[in-house]
Amino acid sequence: MSEARTPAQIEADIVRRREQLAVTLDEIGIRVHPKTIVGDAKAKVVSTVDHTVGRTAAAVSRTFSDVKARFTHDDGAPRLERVVPVAVVAVVLVGLLAVSTRKRKG
């Protein structure tokens, strides 16, 4: 059997448990405080935005690298067989846009 506890031991246990309960209640109070909840929500949003921006930056970088690889040789020289047709299409589109704008004004 266990030994009988003295009143002083029981009282010390009660004091210790009250202190533990006070700490626990303080922690709960901090967690449910509106500023804490708003701060946690802000941190989550910032984390999500940072993650999204990071993924977007990586995707843009990959896309840029892919486009660059399609229009340049390994040594960095342009692939004229690919650059010239794209440039011609761009010039035609700009010309059509200019003609269309002049017709609207005139």
Per-residue pLDDT at 5 exceeds 90: yes
For residues 48 and 40, what is the distance between their CA atoms, to the nearest angstrom?
12
Whose tokens are 């390994």? That residue is 74
Give the pLDDT confidence score for residue 15 in this predicted structure: 97
**DSSP bridge partners of 72:** 78
For residues 48 and 41, what is the distance between their CA atoms, to the nearest angstrom?
11
Per-residue pLDDT at 76 exceeds 60: yes
For residues 6 and 68, what is the distance between their CA atoms, to the nearest angstrom?
83
**DSSP bridge partners of 78:** 72
Residue 71 makes CB contacts below 8 A (sequence gap 6+) with 78, 79, 82, 83, 86
7-55 pLDDT tens trace: 999 999 999 999 999 999 999 999 999 999 999 999 999 999 999 999 9
Q: What is the mean pLDDT of residues 89-99?
A: 93
